[in-house]
Chain A
């Protein structure tokens, strides 16, 4: 009962130096413990400090990052002060690490066998043959078929899910006590994510390895871990058993985050719940609670007194706060700790989130865009790839058509073909009843005016050298819709329309957050007064608490301007709430189109059913049915 913790993090502080010489306090006073064989999720949004904490544990902070305080004790050895050789003996041997993007995390010029061999060699494997045998075992362990032969293949010959399996095999090669996985499934499709989470769960159970899973996805937390640590603004705000935290959050941020996760059960036309405001600026000193500025329950003292992580009344029972060393922390799995002045006193549950509001939207009007039998094939010297295979759809004014599918299903190609960024190889596109499949120069110009696009990555899709005003004014100049003298006024109007201060026009994209940048992208798309707006994964790069604001903005704009929206996303829950109808894409074809609620409640195509089953929900595991695993 009283085994000492395997890993004990105490008062960890991490700072970065900003380009102008200031300090960015990315991790503030983070404390937690991890016991042997435990599975712990660290959840938070971008900037919460979760990944920085993970990297700090192994002293792998990038750039100017450094640990400025606290201790990281692994079986009593303080890693925060250990020297490089000691750290190398820990990395890969006692703590294995898995990173987010399997496409870039493997070395493209080394075979998979070499990857594993390097790790085994670094940790004392002297015999070449024995290392190879072990590498085959490891590949088999993570479920790569035909491991003996695949050992000599290079990373590009594996799928994304398989590459993540290889990375997990690398992390397990040294038989570590802890597996540290930083967003291991974020870059993967839902069905593959499910398989990887199953694998991680099975492996940690059979090998007794403790798992620290860093994620922004509450669904993944529910699916994979016993305990969860919620981070916000560089601090831990809540720590407790997953089932308890998910069903009865004590910290208002946890509650807000849970409410913001789109639920598959929410019907079409439901407004997404978000958390108003933006995350704190970590370069500023923090006086009170990091969340106070966005908290609806905050009182005056929340802004001045910093809360400490303390046990909440009525949970766990017999243990004290987790910062005590050694004995005493062994039984705290049952207790919930929260860093909230009010939570420490409150005995009732937090007030439930307000019931989801309905989107007041008029019924769709006449058909504006029609596609018939669109085909698109990409050819290289050796093979050709059919991205669109006889795709037909209609879109009415004021209607939102959701398009879902996994990566490679052809959704982005469809968006580009509809927006005339790529020509179709076959089929017809009709805009307002006119055939615009192969428009001439002048016709293309007017088609582009009527059909605009909003892109996925608000960081890459805005030119960093242009001011926001120039970015929004560019389509005005290109289409000549507004006289030069009136452009500034129109830009201000557009910025107001998307909820930005017109004064933003003089600043560059870098001084805006992700959500604000996406607003700029939407303003740019609206500038030529289009009839159709094609949104390709418009919120997938944004945090859940922010995505509600952008989705809300899009639906409001649709109501006010009568826009027809194509809403492409991989998250079925979001798509259901915003869309009138949903089309499911698979291998270049639309396998099913139906009214949004109909499709989610009574899916007809087996692929739609698989997609629905794989969507992670932030509900404790015991309340859900298990999903069968298929090899990636």
Chain B
């Protein structure tokens, strides 16, 4: 496994390098000037130029890039342009909330996806299968900003059982924290859970029609064991790969969901930073997102290899 990780390292680093270049370039191509935002609409051209010079925005682009990467490598993310405070502190403040939301959503994705998939693939009850099919289609078709509003309307306004927004950290007050987490996590999870469920259903169905299941049937092995011990281990590897990709989706989707539920996470921070052209904050956030994504892919591949003995030694 260590050899495998070492082999994967160069390509992972290359992806990060490429991503950093892309993030850096795209931000500077987007119209808008941080100095102009900071100086305000009524400032003189001289004041704007002074701000630009003080932020180092007059330096050539390669120098700016080198300064950013150099800071990252030495652990100094520098000050934020517009929001105030140090970038590292801003990210530190929001990361707990976002990790909480994403993990909560991931749990929903796995539980709901597994339930949808198993019911779809194995239930003999036609009504149940039909209901799951309608649910997954709905979850896929309706965007989170609509489901979010609907969830708030139903659980917070009509039933009044859950808060409509805000956050209480889970670690400080678990009982209250869960109440605040439920709706945003569910809202974020629904589309991915539907995709995962459909995929799992298909994957189990295919595994159940494989020759080796016929072999096991002919050996007198009971249907329940056929499903759990013979078909499922074969059905899981591709689903795990999909789950890895969906985790990336969750991170991206968190920006929107945090806005709907007033969830004080990195999504909120990203939105503010982008509007104010706060280059350091946006750059660091995007690169963080890419890093997490690369790590998730790596973990996915390891789990995949662990589940499938045929690729263990490659």
A118 to B210, Cβ gap below 8 A? no
Min CB–CB distance A124 → chain B (angstroms): 10
| Contact partners of B221 in chain A: CB under 8 A | 88, 92, 118-119, 122
Closest residue of chain A to B233, judged by CB?
A109
Pair B220/A108 contact, Cβ less than 8 Å: no
Contact A156 B219 (CB under 8 A): no
Give the interface segment out of B14-22, B190-198, B302-310.
Answer: B302-310
B-contacting residues, A40-96, CB 8 Å: 58, 60, 88-93, 96
Instruction: Using A108-B309, A110-B230, A381-B314 as known contacts, say yes or no to A99 and B222 having CB atoms under 8 A apart.
Output: no
B217 interfacial by beta-carbon distance below 8 Å? yes
Shortest distance between the CB of A58 and any CB in chain B (Å)? 6
B8 at the interface (CB under 8 A from A): no
Question: How far is A483 from B70 in the complex, measured between Cα atoms in Å?
Answer: 67
Count how many chain B residues have C-beta atoms less than 8 Å from C-beta atoms of the other chain: 23
Do the beta carbons of A118 and B234 come within 8 Å of each other?
no
Provided the pairs A104-B212, A105-B212, A106-B212 are in contact, do residues A91 and B309 lie with their beta carbons within 8 angstroms?
no
Contact of B219 with A92 in the complex, beta carbons under 8 Å: yes
Q: Which residues on A sit within 8 Å (CB–CB) of B308?
A: 108-109
Most buried by A among B215, B220, B229, B310: B220
- A90→B220 CA distance, assembly (Å): 7
> Is B211 part of the binding interface, using a Cβ–Cβ cutoff of 8 Å?
yes
Per-position contact with B for A272-309: 1 when CB-CB < 8 Å, else 0? 00000000000000000000000000000000000000
CA A106 to CA B234, docked complex, whole Å: 12
Hey, which chain A residues are within 8 Å of B210, CB to CB? 104
B141 part of interface (Cβ distance < 8 Å):
no
Contacts of A534 in B (CB 8 A): none
A60 near B219 with CB under 8 A, answer no
Say whether, besides A107-B230, A108-B308, A122-B222, A91 and B214 are in contact (CB < 8 Å).
no
Tell whether B67 is near chain A: CB-to-CB under 8 Å: no
Instruction: Tell me if A97 counts as interface (CB < 8 A to partner B).
Output: yes
Residues in A whose Cβ lies below 8 Å from that of B215: 97, 99, 105-107, 167, 170
Q: Which residues of B contact A173 (CB under 8 A)?
A: 219
The reply on A123 being an interface residue by CB < 8 A is yes
CB of B28 within 8 Å of the partner chain: no
A101 to B216, CA, bound (A): 14
Q: Which of B275-314 contact A (CB under 8 A)?
A: 307-310, 313-314
Q: How far apart are the CA atoms of A123 and B216 in the complex, in Å?
A: 12
In the complex, the chain B residue whose C-beta lies closest to that of A157 is B309
Pair B212/A108 contact, Cβ less than 8 Å? yes
Are A122 and B219 neighbours in the complex by a CB distance under 8 Å?
yes
Residue on A nearest B236 in the bound complex, by CB:
A109
* Distance in angstroms between the alpha carbons of A105 and B217 in the assembled complex: 11
B225 at the interface (CB under 8 A from A): yes
Minimal beta-carbon separation of B38 from chain A (angstroms)? 52
Contact partner of B220 (CB less than 8 A), chosen from A99, A104, A122, A156, is: A122
Nearest to A107 among chain B residues (CB) is B212
**Interface presence of B173 (CB below 8 A):** no
Q: Is the CB of A92 within 8 A of B309?
A: no
Query: B43 → chain A, closest Cβ, in Å?
Result: 60
Min CB gap B124→A, angstroms: 13
Q: How far is the CA of A520 from the CA of B174 in the complex (A)?
A: 70
Is B219 a contact partner of A108 (Cβ separation < 8 A)? Answer: no
Q: Is the CB of B230 within 8 A of A91?
A: no
In the assembled complex, which residues on chain B have CB atoms less than 8 Å from the CB atom of A448?
none
Q: Mark B221-240, 1 if CB is under 8 A from A, else 0.
A: 11001000110011000000
Bound together, the chains give a CA A91 to CA B233 distance in angstroms of 23
Distance A97 CA – B220 CA, assembled complex (angstroms): 10
Q: Which residues of A contact B222 (CB under 8 A)?
A: 88, 122
Whether A60 contacts B217 by the Cβ 8 Å rule is yes
Identify which of B215, B216, B217 gathers the most chain A CB atoms within 10 Å of its CB: B215
Q: Is B66 an interface residue (CB 8 A)?
A: no
For the complex, is B218 an interface residue (Cβ under 8 Å from A)?
yes
User: Are B230's CB and A88's CB within 8 A?
Assistant: no
Give, as a whole number of angstroms, the nearest-CB distance from B23 to chain A.
32
**A93 touching B233 by the CB < 8 A rule?**
no
Known interface pairs A108-B308, A109-B307; A92-B211 also in contact (CB < 8 Å): no
* A109-141 contact mask (Cβ, 8 Å, vs B): 1 or 0: 111000000110011000000000000000000
Chain B residue at smallest Cβ distance from A89: B220
Determine whether A174 belongs to the interface, using a CB cutoff of 8 Å to chain B.
yes
Q: Smallest CB–CB gap between A594 and chain B, Å?
A: 40
Q: Which residues of chain B are within 8 angstroms of A108 by Cβ–Cβ distance?
A: 212, 234, 308-310
| Complex Cα spacing A156 to B215, Å | 16
Rounded to whole angstroms, the CA-CA distance of A123 and B314 in the bound complex is: 37
A450 within 8 A of B: no
| CB of A27 to closest CB in B, whole Å | 18
Q: Is the CB of A110 within 8 A of B220?
A: no
A105→B220 contact, CB < 8 A: no
Contacts of B214 in A (CB 8 A): 60, 99, 105
Closest residue on chain A to residue B307 by CB atoms: A109
Cα-based distance from A606 to B27 in the complex (angstroms): 72
A107 B220 Cβ-Cβ under 8 A:
no
Give complex CA distance A198, B313 in Å.
35
Least CB separation from B211: chain A residue: A104
CA distance A418 to B218 in the complex (A): 44
Known A91-B219, A106-B212, A122-B221; 20 more pairs at CB < 8 Å: A60-B214, A91-B218, A96-B219, A99-B215, A104-B210, A104-B211, A105-B215, A107-B212, A107-B215, A108-B212, A109-B234, A109-B308, A110-B229, A118-B216, A119-B221, A122-B222, A122-B225, A156-B309, A170-B219, A171-B218
Q: What 3 pairs across the A-B complex have the smallest Cβ distances?
A: A92-B220, A92-B219, A97-B218
Interface pairs (6), CB distance under 8 Å: A92-B218, A99-B214, A107-B234, A108-B212, A108-B309, A118-B230
Q: Which residue numbers of B lie inside 8 Å of A, CB to CB?
A: 210-212, 214-222, 225, 229-230, 233-234, 307-310, 313-314
